[in-house]
Structure 1
Amino acid sequence: MANNAADRAGCRGNGALVPPGALAAAPEPQRPEEGVVCDLAGLAFPGPQGRGAAEEIVQNAPGPTWACDVSGYATYAVTQEPRIVAGIRSSPGYVEQPRVTGRQVSGFDPHHVVADCAGTPTYFSLELGQKYHDAVDTPGTPRIQELFDTFVEAAGKRFGCSAPTS
């Protein structure tokens, strides 16, 4: 079915799509550690400081895609999967966006962008949940751009993104 859909869309590429031999077990929920959110040192907690009671589920398997859900607060995702990035880049509304931590980026909006990571196009996405929106006026809750900046810095290191040069 996937091969037929890829053929109809004209995006099959070289060779047939093949299902994985086995699927990894679903990750278990865990509590964020102090100074480490979603297994990323330096990532800001997406809610009021001192309220690390939220659980997170981190899809941390090796590969071109990483994701983390901090229950009710935020969902982070990164991919370097070429077919996904190509689809994003060819979508309507994909345009240059304001720089993120000094990096030139393009995307749909300032929190769904593609950056160049050591020559590899890398998509970063941040979706905010209702608990974040409910806490936005609570002291110690980081602003959206701060969350996104710390996310791109922390996740970027995992994906080979060096600090931008001026």
Structure 2
Amino acid sequence: MPNITGFLFLLLLLATEGSLGNSKNEVSHGSSQNVVGRPLGNSLNAWKYCQLGWSTYERRCFRFFKTALQWIYAEAECLRYGGNLASVHSANEYAFLKKLIHQGAGSAVKTWIGGHDAVKEGIWLWSDGSYMNFRAWNSGDNQPDNYKKNEHCLEMNHGAVQLWNDSPCYELKPFICVKK
């Protein structure tokens, strides 16, 4: 009889763990940061879990980091969190990122995002591998201009219009990470 009781307890424990993993209001304490479920969009099934300190937009999690790093070290830091420097896919998403920066820094500081043309000059790619289907270059300032043939990384909030600029990758700037 003790073996049957133990077996039933184990079966109940496994069933309970499975149902907890599907809870839409789940709070996980398994990592160094809590994870909180948040609804996205109009779909009841469209849930995304972002760690505390991260902000949800269109099924992705974003975080602004005030620490100023070179572009490559900012990308490495994002990789450490399981993401990449942010890619931007719409004007609304860009407005969201500008607001996120303003909330974190108190102003529209120049900030690294994931665009680069380090592989081939003029061919801009996102570090997360997604297609660059949206662009917000500061055309009034003739960007991107590869000034002194040394600008291969993308900063946002450039100039009074707060658009994109190609910048030397060694400059120190705060950055935004994204993860799915």
Instruction: Note whether the superposition's TM-score is higher than 0.5.
Output: no
Larger Rg: 2
Structure with the higher helix share, 1 or 2: 2
| TM-score w.r.t. length of structure 1 | 0.27
